[in-house]
Structure 1
Amino acid sequence: MDHFKNIENLYFIGIGGIGMSALARYFNSLGKQVAGYDKTSTVLTRALEEEGIQVFYKDEIEVIPDNFRNTENTLIVYTPAIPKDSKQHNYFIQKEFQLKKRAVVLGMVTQGVFTLAVAGTHGKTTTTAILGHLLKETGAKVTAFLGGISEDIQSNLILKGNEVMVVEADEFDRSFLNLSPNIAAITSMDADHLDIYGSPEKLIESFNYFAALIPENGTLFVKNGLPLKGGTIGIEDNADYSAQNITVKNGTYHFDLITPTQIIEGLRFSLPGKHNLLNAITALAIAIHYGSPTNELARALYSFKGVNRRFTYRLKTPDRVLIDDYAHHPAEIAAVHQAVREMHPGKKVIAVFQPHLFSRTKDFADDFAESLSKFDEVRLLDIYPARELPMEGVTSEWLLHKIKNQNKKLIDKDQIINELNLSESPVIVMMGAGDIGEEIIKVEKYFKNEN
């Protein structure tokens, strides 16, 4: 923590981001002055404001408070998603403030502390949240930086001490190469973020660099089958840590965990989908290896409530089910489909999907079409651009043509509720990483008022 000894003020540009807000909360807990800018007010930025963190929604220099204008004791933290013409960002550069990317600051925070890091193109947020929960519930002095809002604490930061840190290691912009993990896991290495990497090979190379950051006395866990050396994680297979004797009762998985040294029987886990079960096994493997008391892990695992927008049930009545998921990659959509069919067999399912990024839609259009075609009905929203400008020919209409379903349609956000009312499918899945999250809240309110 000596890195921040002379820093009294931290200003975050893009403070509403999931990783940025966790860091803002962390420094606020240390008694530093924390403020920041984001372009829109969200549930998360409002939560930060309630915690005493100032958030500004105008990218203007005059809104920056005076105490954040001292170059000596102020650190500016920014996200790579900030546009080049950001007035505040350019002001801080021009005035020669200390500016650091979020990933660098996270690396500095965890330096010198025993660190458990979870990487992978999917699964890392849920795995990190389960791991942080397991450590917290079994008495570890843990600080955990999560890439999503854990339903247990309604936050993306666990603060229970500083003997061990749990971090989500993000491959976007090669962020995770700033970390120094003692124990790490890689949950998956599917191609993604090709706008940054250019090719799947470069992405895999980056994961290899991440694995190389682990010291000789450290440990790497990998999903069984990945081309990396490490302890293996799997389901009903020969992995070092493998779930066996799996049954589903009332929407809960019951299973035994085989480890290299023992069998832990009678584990229960309530998040639907084999992908989530794999995340749980990864978290258990790291916790066991770290030294968590195994006799307490069953209770801790069963008490985990989930991560917001990761197969979150917004509504669950005999007539209608509304599931909310952050899925924005074809493999994630396929995983949601597997989970929904396992939990709601024989029921028709309508998927409402908002594609995220023009580049990702272009790179994986055929795979998106294949995974979306598995649902009974599909409703597509326009592409959420996030940090990108439109690309010629890359539209939701273009993607819609590739989807094989007969029952498919391109709709606007204000048509969602009407379309769901007209649908014969009792199970609704709304997916995407853009502002569809705000739309889901409206749909939930509508159907709850109707009942």
Structure 2
Amino acid sequence: MSYLQDIKNVYFLGIGGIGMSALARYFKFTGRNVAGYDRTQTALTDALQQEGIDVHYDDDIRNIPSRWNPGETLAVFTPALPDEHSELSWFRGKPIGLLKRAKVLGLICNEKNGIAVAGTHGKTTVSTMTANILDKTKAGCGAFLGGISKNFGSNLLLPNEDSPWIVAEADEFDRSFLHLQPLLALVTSLDADHLDIYGEKEKIVESFEKFISQIKLGGKLLLKKGVELNTQKTSARVFSYALKENADFSAVNLKLSSEGGFYQFDLKTPEGIIANCRLNYPGLINVENAVAAAALAFLAGVSADEIKSGLEDYQGVLRRFDVRYKSDSQIYIDDYAHHPAELKAVISSVKALYPSRKITGIFQPHLYSRTRDFSAEFAASLDLLDETILVSIYPAREEPIEGVSSAIIFEKMKNENKIMAEKEDVAQLLAERETDVVLTMGAGNIDGIGPQIIEVLKNKQNVA
């Protein structure tokens, strides 16, 4: 941490990313001068500017502050940035510290008792739930989150100097999580993903096993039941969790309340039952996430009453099973799901919550490579919907791949109640069709049409 203590100025290349913006906020709140570049203006970059951080959107070295002393300046970049980026190239040629986001996160978190939440999906919700529980304790915690917590109104919970704990989402993309050395670690899932980085699932497994080997001496590892990792690679004490299966931590006496579709359960722990837990947030998948977060808090020494309070108070994360509109006849839920396993989980959770209602899903595939690698799996997950609207791929960091489009998913779907459309036409399609529960899914910008969808559903409610 001594290196960062000498830094007075921090420049971010890709400041609008969810992980980058949390670091930007951290450095701003700790008294540094902060500025940065991003390709696209968003609500998040607007929020950063309102907090006093200078953000620009042109890749132009003239926008880099010239008054900053190089010896007191750090530049942080995201691996999603192309190598030919002119500002990145400029920093590479200067006597200024240039570090990846993951390295900087590690420098901050490894000084404390880190709680690292890893897995190919579920990280953001579990880490946010965990932080919400710990925040209610006397010791408190800090947190770097992969989404905007509705409880905190931010993706950053500023670390409390007196607290030993700091929660961080441990991202496997670009092997970023290998910069973390936590005291407590959790792995929610281990599916094939990011094959553009890893090439094959075996390499993903190797990376996760390297991650768990870095748990600090005396630490603990929590694994979702069914996640297969060689735990001989770690000295940590290993625990398991599951929704209903036999595990060290699980939900028992689970029931759906009649008060609004939320769940109540008793939490089984290695030391007995924590009775009458309530999650005031919908979705069966979130009960599983709550078991994971509660288990982490339990292993961190949090009391039963504090765990119950933190779960009951949890308000969710933007774009994670995010109920954006609800009336008597129309419901709209937005979710970040972008992997076939995530789609299956969120669709199944919506079906369990609304078993007798029609569910229309709008899916925006994320990345050409992921679409190519998992087209059959995406089709199978989308077939769980009553109706599917499939829009064009969100490319993110990738260039197009010949022969790859949303059509390769569409062609493999067995449910004939499906439509191919452009994102801009979705609201009108919904206006013309019978709707009940509407679900948008994807890690791109599909949530941007949310206000239009809400307007359509409001109009239908008024007509009804």
Determine if the TM-score, normalized by the shorter chain, exceeds 0.5. Answer: yes
Using the alignment, how far apart are the partners of 2:137 and 2:272 within structure 1?
Answer: 19
**Contact 2:431/2:456, CA 8 A, preserved across alignment:** no
Q: C-alpha displacement at 1:65, in angstroms? A: 2.0
Q: Is the 8 A contact 1:350 1:377 kept in 2?
A: yes
Does structure 1 residue 403 correspond to structure 2 residue 395? no
1:155 aligns with: 154
Question: Counterpart in 2 of 1:246?
Answer: 254
The CA distance in 1 between the partners of 2:63 and 2:111, in whole Å, is 36
Question: RMSD over aligned Cα, in angstroms?
Answer: 1.3
- Answer yes or no: is 1:190 the counterpart of 2:202: no
Distance 1:196 1:293 in 2: 41
2:343 maps to 333
Residues 67-117 of structure 1 show CA distances to partners (whole Å, capped at 9, x for unaligned) of 34x321110000000012211111111223211000000001112211111
* Aligned pairs, number: 450
Preserved CA contact (<8 Å) 2:183 2:217: no
Alignment counterpart, residue 431 of structure 2, candidates 410, 421, 424: 421
Matches within 5 A, 1:35-46: 35-46=35-46
Question: Structure 1 residue 446: deviation in Å?
Answer: 4.6
Amino acid at match of 2:374: F
Which SS does the other structure have where 1:402 is aligned? coil
Distance in 2 (CA, whole Å) between partners of 1:178 and 1:442 is: 41
Structure 2 match to 1:235: 243
Distance 1:343 1:165 in 2: 33
Q: Is the 8 A contact 1:348 1:424 kept in 2?
A: no
1:51 is matched with 51
SS of 1:190's equivalent?
A: coil
Task: Indicate the residue corresponding to 1:89 in structure 2.
Answer: 88
Match of 1:75 in 2: 74
Contact 2:77–2:100 (8 Å) recurs in 1: yes
Secondary structure, counterpart of 1:118 in structure 2? strand
TM-score normalised over the length of structure 2: 0.95
Structure 1 counterpart SS, 2:58:
coil
Q: Which contiguous aligned blocks of 4+ residues in structure 1 show a shift greater than 6 angstroms?
A: none
Which letter does structure 1 place at the counterpart of 2:86?
Answer: K
Determine helix, strand or coil for the equivalent of 2:92. Answer: helix
- Distance, in Å, in 2 between the alignment partners of 1:139 and 1:279 is 23
How far is the alpha carbon of 1:54 from its aligned partner?
A: 0.8
Shift of 1:160: 5.1
Instruction: Give matches, 1:168-187, under 5 Å.
Output: 168-187=169-188
For residue 369 of structure 2, give the secondary structure of its aligned residue in structure 1: helix
> Aligned partners of 1:97, 1:71: CA distance in 2, in Å?
5
Decide which moves more: 134-143 or 281-290: 134-143
Corresponding residue to 1:298 among 279, 303, 308: 308
Measured against aligned partners, the alpha-carbon deviations of 1:182-228 in whole angstroms (never above 9, x if no partner) come to 01000000111010000011101111111101133100000012223
2:106 aligns with: 107
Secondary structure of the equivalent of 2:409?
helix
- Partner of residue 271 from structure 2, selected from 257, 261, 267: 261
Q: Which residue of 1 aligns with 2:116?
A: 117
Instruction: Report the counterpart of residue 32 of structure 1 in structure 2.
Output: 32
Consecutive unaligned residues in structure 2, runs of 5 or more: 232-237
Distance 1:296 1:6, change over 3 A: closer
1:445: Cα distance to partner?
Answer: 4.2
Amino acid at match of 2:414: K
Q: How does 1:312-331 map to 2 (within 5 A)?
A: 312-331=322-341
